[in-house]
Amino acid sequence: MAAPLTADKFLRALLDEGLDVVELPGWRTRNRNHKGPWGPVHGVAIHHTVTFGTATTVGIVRDGYSGLPGPLCHGMIAKDGRVHLIGYGRTNHAGLGDPDVLRAVIAERPYPVDDEASVDGNRHLYGFECENRGDGADPWPDVQLLAIERASAALCRAHDWGPLSVLGHLEWQPGKPDPRGFTMPSMRDRIAARLGVAAPGPLPAPVRPKVSLSKLRAAALSNPGMVGTPVTYTGVITVEAALVDEGLLAKRYADGHYGTTTLTGMSRWQELCGYRGRKPGQAADGIPGRDSLTRLGKKHAFDVIT
């Protein structure tokens, strides 16, 4: 447990680690502190942006978008290795995550599988967004990976943390795939070497998430017109992440609420599976069915239960 660094100490830590830092105007006071407390902090979360182009990416993580106001991180690590300072304080980057994972981060021990979304990560984690399409094919330049290593090590050094205080979004929130294209265990090994400490031991073998068809259907039928509501069922996050990966749902709508946009995304998936509405020319309804959901789970590594 630690109080957040001051903005000046945060900047100093990055510079002392040899990083090339770009300070956006007003970054020290751009935050979401009016939405809740900032701190105590326990670790560093690494994300990919699902964007292309540094200027575009900086604008998105600074300002956010409909349904997810900015700032979306503390720093954005570009492909050229520069760290753009975006905001400081509470930022919209981590969302709700697994309390068991947070306890493991605090204790610096191997993480359990993230299967719950109930703890406020925006309060407790520093966040770096990293410029990458997030499709598994977009390369990660060596200079960018080195910057991720250095930025993470800088905060670990400042707080006297070890490498297990650095985690990926996919290790924090169920259904999230980022960062994609390198592994967090390999990044933690790099951070350990930079800090001059022993590399952390292996993490538990991943367990495939399980999505309850009945709970997912109840979420879809509960009030799909509402937006910006809390997570209705954590399995929704897993399904929405799969729809995002399929290009059927915009990332900003992957919020854990089975609203109208998620219905539309699932409808498109159902149609790809050969399903249509009951009337000629009518679109599929987007209410999860076992066959189409099982096909989605088979492709995106989750299992469907009753």
pLDDT at residue 259 in the model: 85
CATH of the domain at 17: 3.40.80.10
**Is the same domain home to 43 and 164?**
yes
The domain of 148 spans: 7-195
The predicted-structure confidence for 138-150, as pLDDT tens digits, reads as follows 999 999 999 999 9
**Is the same domain home to 214 and 160?**
no
Is pLDDT above 60 for 278?
A: yes
The predicted-structure confidence for 31-66, as pLDDT tens digits, reads as follows 999 999 999 999 999 999 999 999 999 999 999 988
Domain count, the chain: 2
Is pLDDT above 90 for 77?
A: yes
The predicted-structure confidence for 221-238, as pLDDT tens digits, reads as follows 887 666 555 666 888 888
Residue 176 neighbours by CB distance under 10 Å: 24
By C-alpha distance, which of 197, 85, 79, 49 is closest to 147? 79
204: in domain:
no
Q: What are phi and psi of 14, to 5 degrees?
A: -65, -45
**Is the same domain home to 125 and 52?**
yes
pLDDT at residue 227 in the model: 52
2: in domain:
no
Q: Select from 195, 226, 252 the last residue of a domain.
A: 195
227: in domain:
yes
Q: Select from 195, 222, 240 the last residue of a domain.
A: 195
Question: How are strands ordered across the β-sheet holding 43-48?
Answer: 21-23, 83-85, 75-77, 125-130, 43-48, 166-168
**Is the same domain home to 119 and 155?**
yes
Tokens 């540094």 correspond to: 54
Q: Is 204 exposed, middle or buried (0-12, 13-18, 19+ CB in 10 A)?
A: exposed
Pairing verdict, β 83-85 and 75-77: antiparallel
**Is the same domain home to 179 and 102?**
yes
**Is the same domain home to 72 and 112?**
yes
**Is the same domain home to 136 and 233?**
no
The answer to whether 242 and 254 have CB atoms below 8 angstroms apart is no
Q: Select from 137, 163, 195 the last residue of a domain.
A: 195
The predicted-structure confidence for 84-100, as pLDDT tens digits, reads as follows 999 999 999 999 999 99
Question: 206 falls in which pLDDT band (50, 70, 90)?
Answer: low
pLDDT at residue 183 in the model: 96
**Is the same domain home to 185 and 226?**
no
The predicted-structure confidence for 239-277, as pLDDT tens digits, reads as follows 988 898 788 988 778 778 888 889 999 999 999 998 887
164: in domain:
yes
What is each CA distance from 44 to 74, 230, 238, in whole angstroms?
10, 24, 22
50: in domain:
yes
- Check whether the bond before 71 is cis (ω within 30° of 0): yes
